[in-house]
Amino acid sequence: MKDPATTRLSLLRAAEKLFSERGIDSVSMREVASEAGQRNVSATQYHFGSRDGVLEAILQRHAAPIHEKYAAMVDLLEARADVSLTALVEALVRPLVSKLDDADGGRAYLAIAAQLSLAPATTPAVQRASTQPGVDRLHTLLLDFVNAPLALKQARLERLNVLLFSSLVARAHAESAQEATVSRELFVRDLVDCLCALVSAQPAAQGLRVAAHARAE
């Protein structure tokens, strides 16, 4: 008889593979069980309850350790009095870049996170797994550097996440195909520069007028 923890991990790995390749909403729980080599087609539902339960477990497996690194990095930056925009963005980026070298589902996780950045899950369980104290602290500090009206600040951070994860997925594809045109470090530096520019960009006058009109309504 297989150990339940072993079965659960094999199901998670199968879900990561299928979700990253075909899309979260295009994979059934039965397909996950089949990919994991489970004869019981209800195995995924038994262990996780639903697709959102699988997503929550994937995020706990990959994102929770990253969020712990974020908390430690914020502590270090605050202790050094180095809470600059560049330092914050680099702290956000580097733990995620390390997933490119994680052979146990790291690149699949990045692809899944990219999907969630475009269509964030609204179920409480997935939201809890997506937002932890470490990343929340980073985002709160980043908000102070968003050079935009209040109504646009959160939208800027959402756009930052989309650019961040889509860039990492594109890099993963380029490295897998041996088509990366710049070194990993140069890619990281340029990504940090682009994200800093996104955060600090001054809105055009027309955008400011639209935001002011929205507040008036």
- Domain boundaries defined on the chain: 1-49, 52-216
DSSP 80-105: TT---HHHHHHHHHHHHHGGGG-TTT
Q: pLDDT above 90 covers what percent of the chain?
A: 72
Please count the other Cβ atoms lying within 10 Å of the Cβ belonging to residue 40. 10
- 42's CB contacts (< 8 A; 6+ apart) are 29, 30, 33
Three-state SS at 178: coil
Q: Using one digit for the tens of pLDDT, what is the confidence trace for 178-210?
A: 999 999 999 999 999 999 999 999 877 665 565
Task: List, for the chain, all residue ranges whose pLDDT scores fall below the cut of 70.
Answer: 1-2, 120-125, 128-129, 205-217
Please give the Cα distance from 47 to 35 (Å, whole number).
Answer: 15
Q: Which two tokens stand for residue 21?
A: 């390749």
Q: Rounded CA gap, 186 and 4, in Å? A: 43
Provide Rg for the chain, Cα atoms: 19
CATH no. of 1-49 = 1.10.10.60
Output the CA–CA distances (angstroms, integers) from residue 137 to 45, 61, 75, 153, in the order listed. 34, 20, 10, 15
**What is residue 144's DSSP assignment?**
T
- Give the span between the Cα atoms of 189 and 43, in whole angstroms: 43
Q: What is the pLDDT of residue 212?
A: 58
Q: What is the pLDDT of residue 3?
A: 84
Cα 105 to Cα 60: distance, rounded to the nearest angstrom? 13
Q: Give the pLDDT score at 169.
A: 98
User: How far is it, in rounded angstroms, from Cα 12 to Cα 61?
Assistant: 9
> Measuring CA to CA, which residue among 134, 166, 140 is closest to residue 153?
140
Query: Which pair of structure tokens corresponds to residue 216?
Result: 């008036």
